[in-house]
Structure 1
Amino acid sequence: MGEYYQWVNVDKKEYICPADFDYGSKFYESMHKDSTPLHALHSLLTDEWKGDRVLWFGDECSVPEQSSNGVIKTLYEQSVEFGYPEDAFDMICESYRNVSCLFKEAEKDVREWIEDDLEEYRENGKLDHFNEYGIDLDNPYEGLFLKTAKRRMFTINHTKKIYYTFAETDMLFLDRTKNDYGDPLPILMGYGRVTEPGEWLGDVIGVSDQRPEGYSLIKEICMKW
């Protein structure tokens, strides 16, 4: 089985799921720099999620009451308010909106899930489970599948005022050989049972095709892989 991850926005109470884009949801399965889930994340960070706190969050870990990290503290507080103290992943699945449905790249799989929900709604007049995509059941596809997943050139940590780019930053394996395909962002933003908390966890992350002025370029990143 293993631990499954989602990109979670704790401020908007939204997330995207790699499985909706027909990708695996384990820690390393959508880390390729050209993976659709990462491109979708970039598009959200450019628009709807700009300035928000996000993390790559696993389903087999709890969030402790005592944490110095702001994003983990927020998840704990939300889990308590929802009635699931420390069990943030289930709280997310039962209260956050899955916005994978905004992307045309996720349409095939998401449409199948929505059709199942609509069949249940037609038969029972209601859903017996949480409406994860937050759709209007009487007008279910309004506003869906309109966004395009697109990678931006620069990945920026606005909190630390640093950034990386594949054109200039060396991505390295633990043995110092070049990693030409992996994006370190899930490692930097990860929180789960199978990984140490990421160095950027809780920071405000952005992306851009314009080099950020006044920020420092990261020359190399060791991906601990």
Structure 2
Amino acid sequence: MGEYYNWVNVDKKEYICPADFDYGNKLHESMHKDSTPLFALHSLLMDSWKGDRILWFGDECSVPEQSSNNVIQLLYNHSAAFGYPGDAFDTICESYRNVSCFFKEAEKDVREEIGYYLDEYRETGRLEPFNEYGIDLDNPFDGLFFMTGKRRKYTVNHTKKIYYSLDETDILFQDHTKNDFSDPLPLLLGYGRIKEPGEWIGDIIGVSDQRPEGYSLIKEIYVDW
């Protein structure tokens, strides 16, 4: 079936799931430059996720007990504290909040999922296995669907002081031909069974419509397929 990925904020203990936006969540499926989950990510990076550490995390890998990368080490610590040492994906799904529910674009699927939770609660008096969206059972849709995803022009690595723009940076396949439809961010921040860890994992990533002063434009980025 393949490995499935979510956008994960390890500092806020939150994530967004592309499937909630009726979008594929395999490694490359959310790389399209017009991907709705990527638009949602950009909006979070402009708002409540600003300055936090994020990654594109797969469900078929474990994290080591010791890592030189601060994000991977934190994920292990979270998994161990939750009782799943090394099993970070299940830890994320069962103890982090899925904030896809903030977005209007995810409303259809999220409302349906919450409906299942409410049916279960009415039948059993409890939510199992967990309250994924962190809803208030007395007012389950309060505070949801208030954001809209929007792409920003520049993707910025504040740690390395570099940035790219799909208008100015050449996104290239390994054979040097141009890729006009992909955003490389899932590869730069990806961690999973089927790929090497992204070189930006652990860095502070942001987005902006203003060119970042004092930062260097990346002229070329190669994608691995």
TM-score tier (shorter)? over 0.9
Task: Give the whole-Å Cα distance in 1 for the aligned partners of 2:5 and 2:89.
Answer: 9
TM, length-normalised to structure 1: 0.99
Task: Give the whole-Å Cα distance in 1 for the aligned partners of 2:154 and 2:128.
Answer: 43
Is residue 42 of structure 2 the alignment partner of residue 42 of structure 1? yes
Give the CA deviation at 1:30. Answer: 1.2
Quote the residue 1:67 is aligned against: 67
Quote the residue 1:209 is aligned against: 209
**SS state at 2:147 partner:** coil
**Residue-pair matches, total:** 225
**SS state at 1:15 partner:** strand
**SS state at 1:108 partner:** helix
Quote the residue 2:193 is aligned against: 193
Instruction: Please report the RMSD computed on the Cα atoms of aligned residues, expressed in angstroms.
Output: 0.6
Quote the residue 2:5 is aligned against: 5
Quote the residue 1:17 is aligned against: 17
Of residues 33-42 and 114-123 in structure 1, the stretch that sits farther from structure 2 once superposed is 114-123
Task: Give the whole-Å Cα distance in 1 for the aligned partners of 2:214 and 2:147.
Answer: 31
**Which amino acid in structure 1 is aligned with residue 131 of structure 2?**
N
Give the CA deviation at 1:128. Answer: 2.1
**Which amino acid in structure 2 is aligned with residue 205 of structure 1?**
I
Of residues 124-133 and 90-99 in structure 1, the stretch that sits farther from structure 2 once superposed is 124-133
Quote the residue 1:58 is aligned against: 58
Of residues 7-16 and 121-130 in structure 1, the stretch that sits farther from structure 2 once superposed is 121-130
Task: Give the whole-Å Cα distance in 2 for the aligned partners of 1:169 and 1:224.
Answer: 16
CA deviations on 1:6-55 (whole Å, 9 max, x unpaired) are: 00000000000000000111100111011000000000000010000000
Give the CA deviation at 1:178. Answer: 0.6
Task: Give the whole-Å Cα distance in 2 for the aligned partners of 1:128 and 1:57.
Answer: 24
Q: Which runs of 5+ in 1 are unaligned?
A: none
Give the CA deviation at 1:113. Answer: 0.3
Deviation beyond 3 Å, 4+ runs, structure 1: none
Task: Give the whole-Å Cα distance in 2 for the aligned partners of 1:18 and 1:216.
Answer: 31
**SS state at 1:129 partner:** coil
**Which amino acid in structure 1 is aligned with residue 67 of structure 2?**
S
CA deviations on 1:69-111 (whole Å, 9 max, x unpaired) are: 0100000111111111000000111100000000000001110
Quote the residue 1:113 is aligned against: 113
**Which amino acid in structure 2 is aligned with residue 66 of structure 1?**
Q
**SS state at 1:30 partner:** helix
Give the CA deviation at 1:66. Answer: 1.7
**SS state at 1:7 partner:** strand
